[in-house]
Amino acid sequence: MSGVKLWGAAMVLAATQVLAQQAVIDSQTKERVVGELVSRFGAAEEARIRRGVEQVAARWW
């Protein structure tokens, strides 16, 4: 691979890493959703709800 192509590939990879680290779903939205689900399903389920919301938010693109 030539130097220019290698440099271009490195830039694309770096940009992908930066975009992957940016949160698409902000913390206010996550807290609002957790609150709504806890009010619907009860405080006994809060830990599971939080875990699920965090998992979905982490995988959202």
Residue 29 lies in a domain: yes
Parent domain of 51: 24-61
Q: Is residue 25 a contact partner of residue 53, using CB atoms and an 8 Å limit?
A: no
Check pLDDT > 80 for residue 21.
no
The answer to whether 1 and 9 have CB atoms below 8 angstroms apart is yes
Instruction: Specify if 5 maps to a domain.
Output: no
**Residue 44 is assigned to a structural domain of this protein:** yes
pLDDT at 32: 98
- Mean pLDDT of the region 21-42: 93
Domain count, the chain: 1
With respect to residue 40, please indicate whether it lies within any of the assigned structural domains: yes
pLDDT greater at residue 4 or residue 29: 29
Q: Determine the pLDDT at residue 61.
A: 78
Q: Which two tokens stand for residue 7?
A: 């440099």
Pure H helices in 1-61:
3-21, 27-41, 46-59
> Is the residue at 32 inside a domain?
yes
d(CA 32, CA 25): 11
- Looking at residues 17-28, what average pLDDT do you find? 75
Check residue 23 and give its pLDDT.
73
Q: Give pTM, 2 decimals.
A: 0.64
